[in-house]
Structure 1
Amino acid sequence: MSSQNYSSSKEGIWLNDRFVSFISIGSNDFPSDISPDELQALHFCQDWLKGSATFIIHTSGSTGLPKSIHLNRDQMIQSALLTGKMLQLQAGDSALVNLNTQYIGGMMMLVRGMVLGLNLWIVPPSLIPLKELPSHLYFDFLSFVPVQLQAVLENMPDRITTLNKAKAILLGGAPVSQGLEKQLQQIEAPIYQTYGMTETLSHVALKRVNGVEKKEYYTTLPGVEITTDERACLVIRAPFTGAQPIVTNDVVKLLSPTTFNWLGRIDNVINSGGIKIQAERIERITEQVLLVSQINRRFFIGSLPHAQLGETVTIFMEGNALSKEAETQLLHSIAVLTNRFEKPTSIVYIPAFLETPSGKIDKPQTIRLYTGL
């Protein structure tokens, strides 16, 4: 935080500008005017301070049906320690908790704070989490979903000085768009895109996305072992994932024992005429074309049934239909950058995408609701 004398997380945490001691948390002595999100965070801290051995958390539902997962305290501690080691965090460093603590990203920020002795400042999740904070505050460690950091850069450009003072900034929960990645280059502090899931207790690998040390690949945390299965999907073994390896549905290209490129989800593979097409690759191309065309729309790549080919690549776009001229130009520009099987054949316009509880686009349900497929 700033040079002001704030109490350590060994003594308590900050709820915006109010300090709540761990003694008060342990005795259920909470402020009367706190928000439901702040109350959720305090209840978790209370359970942690009592020494609870397991914690129940719900997955976001972005890669399948939401489910409950039991997390082990010792494994959560191991994960926090490895993150601290990789990012060189130290006791007394400050951290902002602005993610929903019902999900793994926000919950593990609380755990890292209590395990590493960080000064925690908790604010309710919002689109622009720095908006209500005093301008003199800065933090050593921050974690955002991409849309939050983009909103900060676009609506509060003066806060870049706050971001520049961080030791590390994490971005997770959704892909980093090409447009946002370009904006991130104005930030001096190291920014890392995370790879992980609830089952891996947040991230197991990081990718630097800004500055001269920017990388095109992920690097695993210390102690994490990676291999692939017969589908070319990532298999993870780590001190904090238990005895059994975690088999993912993420198609990757291994570059070394500790680095890999993420290619996409195996369940996002489109089979068109016997050719397997990774939807995420076409999304990156489409995003590039939309950026150049100055079309600011949410979209994703899916498929529609085809009598001869089985499936055809399709763009699902949120909002009203583009003009016929703009649509034709868009499809042509994408076709130039793809082969004849990969190129999208049509655009399906959807008034509003359905979302998961954590705010991600629910692609399967959106397709089912608006196409009946």
Structure 2
Amino acid sequence: MKDNNTPHIIINNKSLDLSNIGSFAISNPFEASTVSFIEEWLSGQPIFELQTSGSTGTPKKIKIKRSQMEASARQTMKALDISKGNALVCLDTTYIAGKMMLVRALIHQMDIIAVTPGANPLQGLTTPPDFAALVPLQVEAILTDEHSKKMLNSMKAIIIGGAPVSNHLAKQIESLQVAAYATYGMTETVSHIALKRLNGFEKNDTYVAFDEVKLSLDDRGCLTIQSAVTDGEKIITNDIVDLKTEHTFEWLGRIDNVINSGGVKIQSEKVERVIEKIFSELDISKRFFIAGIDDSKLGKKVVMVVESEHPLPETEINEQLKKMVSKYEIPKQIFYIASFAETKTGKVNRGVILKEINF
């Protein structure tokens, strides 16, 4: 019989016996990393080596203290007002997002349902989870299946990260009953340090940082973060934000993605948000991004890169863009790539994709 204080852990429909972890029959890398981390955590290991995703630069390994992970987990669960039930772990536990779902559950003695990451992690589940962390592609897949959507709406809360929530997906999320939040954070901040409510009466356009987090701007207008989750150190990001109050901000984009075209500074993400709206109106669901490439006259010219084997209605898109952005922000050229390169955590790898294009 299960001790009331001992979490029940199911990994891919197999029960993990915490008194004999070594007996678990590992059948894939996800199970190996999940079991390994749980064993390390329960042993009281004080330091963990984590891999950054590589979405904003070269992937690297950093060391994080147990106390930082505990602080992060407590802040999240306090903000979501969740302290019991079961948690779905369906993100790669090699990386911070998956590991922190395990930590949140373990320190709050929640039962754990862990499944190998896939498009629809709710498919095949018989027990609805109370809480889960998902990436946008998983939410999109869940919403296409009525049974999974019903299960999602029975949950207490979901947090969505790893990539921006598109305008099209945001509209779908607005009608969900489950409390849904977008997250802001990175490996260096031990997962997220701020949440943005995407639906319900508390829906907001700004991120709200946890109470213990201190925010400020550097001289570039980029966000800096200091908290127990950073071990008291000030983390300097490359994220340009509009700091509304000492705890709230609007994310505008990354300074890496500012394009200096003929002396005019263009924020890629601003143009992308406008194009998202146009794509939604034209019922275009292709992934894309805005970038700057070398140009003999402008220094850098604005281009759009689209994941598609077939051309889009460029004239119609440009006509709409002319009404919504300046002439400098309109892409001078559109490149089509059959399949976008991704990081190991499923993020679009802009750097690799741009190298693939033969300019």
Alignment TM-score, normalising by the size of structure 2: 0.96
Paired position in structure 1 for 2:61: 68
Aligned residues: 359
SS in 1 for 2:38: helix
Which of 25, 31, 41 aligns to 1:38? It is: 31
Partner residue of 1:95?
87
Quote how far apart the aligned CAs of 1:165 are.
2.4
For 1:29, give the aligned amino acid: S
Task: Give the structure 2 partner of residue 220 of structure 1.
Answer: 209
Change over 3 Å in CA distance of 1:241–1:38 after alignment to 2: same
Superposed displacement of residue 55, structure 1:
1.0
Deviation at 1:112, TM superposition (A): 0.7
2:191 paired residue number? 202
SS in 1 for 2:243: strand
CA distance in 1, matches of 2:238, 2:4: 40
What is the match of residue 277 of structure 2?
Answer: 288
Cα distance in 1 between the residues matched to 2:299 and 2:225? 33
Q: Could you tell me how far apart the structure 2 residues matched to 1:82 and 1:361 are?
A: 29
Q: Tell whether 2:197 aligns with 1:236.
A: no
Are 2:7 and 2:112, in contact at CA under 8 Å, matched by a contact in 1? Answer: no
Offset of 1:294 from its aligned partner? 1.6
The aligned counterpart of 1:167 is: 156
Cross-structure match for 1:352: 339
* Residues 123-134 of structure 1 mapped to structure 2, 5 A cutoff: 123-134=115-126
Superposed displacement of residue 51, structure 1: 1.1
Decide whether the 8 Å contact of 1:195 with 1:206 is kept in 2. Answer: yes
TM-score using structure 1 length: 0.92
Asked if 1:332 corresponds to 2:319, the answer is: yes
Structure 1 residue aligned with 2:137: 147
Flag the 1:308–1:127 CA change in 2: closer, same or farther, 3 A: same
Instruction: Write the distance in 2 (CA, Å) between the matches of 1:142 and 1:159.
Output: 13
Q: 1:181-216: CA deviations, max 9, x gaps?
A: 111122111100000000000000000011222100
User: Do the aligned residues in 2 keep the contact of 1:8 with 1:118 (CA within 8 Å)?
Assistant: no
**CA distance in structure 1 between the partners assigned to 2:243 and 2:257 by the alignment:** 19
Match of 2:13 among 17, 21, 28: 17
Q: Per the alignment, in what secondary structure is the counterpart of residue 193 of structure 1?
A: strand
Indicate which of 247, 253, 266 corresponds to 1:277: 266
DSSP-derived class of the 1:143 partner: strand
Counterpart among 176, 179, 182 of residue 168 in structure 2: 179
Q: 1:74 to 1:49 in 2, by over 3 A?
A: same
Q: State the shift of 1:33 in Å.
A: 5.6
Helix, strand or coil for the counterpart of 2:139?
Answer: helix
Equivalent pair of 1:16/1:133 in contact (CA under 8 Å)? no
Provide the residue aligned with 2:246 in structure 1: 257
Closer, same or farther: CA 363–232 of 1 in aligned 2, 3 Å: same
Q: CA deviation at 1:253?
A: 0.5
Distance 1:40 1:263 in 2: 35
Q: Offset at 1:104?
A: 0.7
Distance 1:141 1:11, change over 3 A: closer
Offset of residue 34 of structure 1: 3.5
Q: Which amino acid aligns with 2:93?
A: T
Given that residues 160 and 180 in structure 2 are in contact (C-alpha distance below 8 angstroms), is that contact kept between their aligned partners in structure 1?
yes
What SS does the corresponding residue of 2:357 show, helix, strand or coil?
helix
* Amino acid in the other structure paired with 1:55: F
| CA–CA separation in structure 2 for the residues paired with 1:334 and 1:51 | 55
1:119 to 108, 111, 115: 111
Higher mean C-alpha displacement, 200-209 vs 268-277: 268-277
Quick one: percent identity of the two aligned structures? 40
Please tell me whether the aligned partners of residues 26 and 32 of structure 2 are also in contact (alpha carbons under 8 angstroms). Answer: no
Segments of structure 1 that go 5 or more residues without pairing to the other structure are: none
User: How many angstroms does 1:10 deviate by?
Assistant: 2.3
For 2:347 and 2:3, how far apart are their aligned partners in 1?
35
Cα RMSD (Å) of the superposition?
Answer: 1.6
Distance in 1 (alpha carbons) for counterparts of 2:221 and 2:43:
42
Amino acid at match of 2:29: P
Deviation track 1:205-238 (CA, whole Å, cap 9, x = no partner) reads 0000112221000000120010000010000001
For residues 159 and 12 of structure 1, do their structure 2 counterparts lie closer, same or farther at Cα, with a shift above 3 Å needed? closer
